[in-house]
Amino acid sequence: MVFSSILFLFRFLPVTFLVYYLAPKKIKNLVLLIASLIFYSWGEVRYFPVMLVSILVNYAAGIGIDHFRGNKAKCRLLLIISIIFSVGWLAFFKYSDFVLQNINLLFGTAIPYLKLTLPLGISFYTFQIMTYTIDIYFGKCQVEKNIINFGTFVVLFPQLIAGPIVKYTDISSELRERTVTLDKVQEGTAIFIRGLASKVLLANNIGALWSEVETLGAANISTPLAWLGILAFTLQIYFDFSGYSLMAIGLGKALGFTFPQNFNYPYISRSVTEFWRRWHMTLSGWFREYLYIPLGGNRVKPARMYFNLFVVWFSTGLWHGANWNFVLWGLYFFVLISIERLFLKKYLDKFRILSHIYLILIVIFGWVLFAITDISVVGQYFSRLFSFTGGEDWIFYLRNYGVVLLLGAVLSTPALKKVGEMAPKKMRWLSVPITLLVFLVCVAYLVDASYNPFLYFRF
């Protein structure tokens, strides 16, 4: 079940919110826990026990760490057990076949693949669970003794499958006490619809162009169409993922939770360093807080600092997918950030327009690595981008997708937001009918459309 579906919008969501709002304050978390487990199990019922065991093991680990607070060795052991357990599930489901594939290639063996289906959102909720036990160990938060509250944190359906990555400390107080007001519900609904429109009206329509280019193959397209295709993916992945993040944030607000911002117009950045402060901000923050800083961060000698960066970006690439193209994508950004730290950043700061062009090109090249899992095809696509191969195929696609590409390019910047802020207060009531109209258009599209992918489900 995905947010951008008729089933979710007109069955699961109304029933869940109705029961939640009518329920007494004492059992609201129980209502959310049950609803979230139903949401998770709808498409992954066979992995329901995995989720339950993950909740129980990490809940027990937190209780144990708090109980043995005076015994550092026991606390450390419990922390290690909880991390190994959580990362172990992720490694088993996500990387088993990747490891077997590389063993077969290296040693000429023929070990059969496990062909496991990846549990929904496992990359996201694994990181969320780890923040709880790590923060308990370091005394950054109090232990959660109510298993209903803890289970709600782990499996909370708005951000379960695609983030933002919500740390326990982000919502610990709201798990115990929160207020749902009409203003919050209205604001959350508006944010949700904005995210739904980003996903349904922009990401889906723009993504159809990239799907067609993929189907044609790199060897069969002109250079202009190759550029149009990867530009389409650049916009699709932004509106797809940021749209889902907005929907999660909006749903959370309507339920009384405040989730952290996950995107802040990353394509207006002027350096790769700035880009990663604006793109998937909760993931960047997680790696900084729980991996980069514990390794020593930038408080160490330069050689060690760059090693720390290497570990972080290797891990970031691998987190995104069990394939070498994702590892190369992560290391690609490691090299660029290292170069910026060494000397390039000071020059980028001086040249505003050139730095924007630099960032967009760098990111587009990165998305080629990210979007195409076959390394040989990656090479073909880069070759096509710079081979100046002529043809008229791009004219057809530009006619069909030119308007939505232009709209996506504009809306990936804060231009519309600034226009809205400049509007007179007496005209802001128009936001309500406009939002309702946008929602109706989204629903009409979903009723009629067959193309409704979500790129981050595979992560």
pLDDT of residue 430: 73
Q: Please state the length of the chain.
A: 459
Is residue 309, in this structure, part of any structural domain at all?
A: no
pLDDT of residue 405: 95
Residues 6+ apart with CB under 8 A from 371: 210, 230, 233, 237
Question: Which of 119, 148, 178 is the last residue before a domain boundary?
Answer: 178
Which pair of structure tokens corresponds to residue 442? 């989204």
pLDDT of residue 456: 58
Could you give the CA distance from residue 436 to residue 189 in angstroms, rounded to a whole number? 10
Domain count, the chain: 2
Could you give the CA distance from residue 428 to residue 419 in angstroms, rounded to a whole number? 12
pLDDT in tens, the chain (459 residues): 788 889 999 999 999 999 999 999 999 999 999 999 999 888 778 888 888 999 999 999 999 999 999 899 999 999 999 999 999 999 999 999 999 999 999 999 999 999 888 888 888 889 999 999 999 999 998 999 999 999 999 999 998 877 799 999 999 999 999 988 999 999 999 999 999 999 999 999 999 999 999 999 988 999 999 999 999 999 999 999 999 999 999 999 999 999 999 999 999 999 999 999 999 999 999 999 999 999 998 899 999 999 999 999 999 999 998 999 999 999 999 999 999 999 999 999 999 999 999 999 999 999 999 999 999 899 999 999 998 888 888 999 999 999 999 999 999 999 888 877 777 766 666 778 888 999 999 999 888 776 666 665 555
Could you give the CA distance from residue 362 to residue 359 in angstroms, rounded to a whole number? 5
Beta-carbon neighbour count of residue 45 at 10 Å?
10
Question: Is the domain of 190 the same as that of 92?
Answer: no
Could you give the CA distance from residue 191 to residue 198 in angstroms, rounded to a whole number? 11
Which pair of structure tokens corresponds to residue 267? 């394509």
Question: Is the domain of 149 the same as that of 29?
Answer: yes
Question: Which of 178, 203, 227 is the last residue before a domain boundary?
Answer: 178
Q: Which of these, 291, 281, 260, 296, lies nearest to 168 by C-alpha position?
A: 260
Q: What is the largest CA-CA distance in the chain?
A: 73
- 168 lies in which domain range? 6-178
Inter-CA distances, 233 with 108, 207, 281, 364, Å: 36, 6, 20, 9
3-class DSSP state for residue 156? Answer: coil
Could you give the CA distance from residue 395 to residue 383 in angstroms, rounded to a whole number? 21
Could you give the CA distance from residue 224 to residue 235 in angstroms, rounded to a whole number? 17
Distance of CA 364 to the CA centre of its chain: 18
Enzyme catalytic residues: 320
Cis omega (within 30 of 0) for bond into 164: yes
Is residue 308, in this structure, part of any structural domain at all?
A: no
What is the 8-class DSSP label of residue 3?
Answer: S
Question: Is the domain of 101 the same as that of 229?
Answer: no
Is residue 96, in this structure, part of any structural domain at all?
A: yes
Characterize 415-432 residue by residue with b for buried, 16 or more Cβ atoms within 10 angstroms of its Cβ, and e for exposed.
eeeeeeeeeeeeeeeeee
Question: Is the domain of 400 the same as that of 357?
Answer: yes
What is the 8-class DSSP label of residue 259?
Answer: P
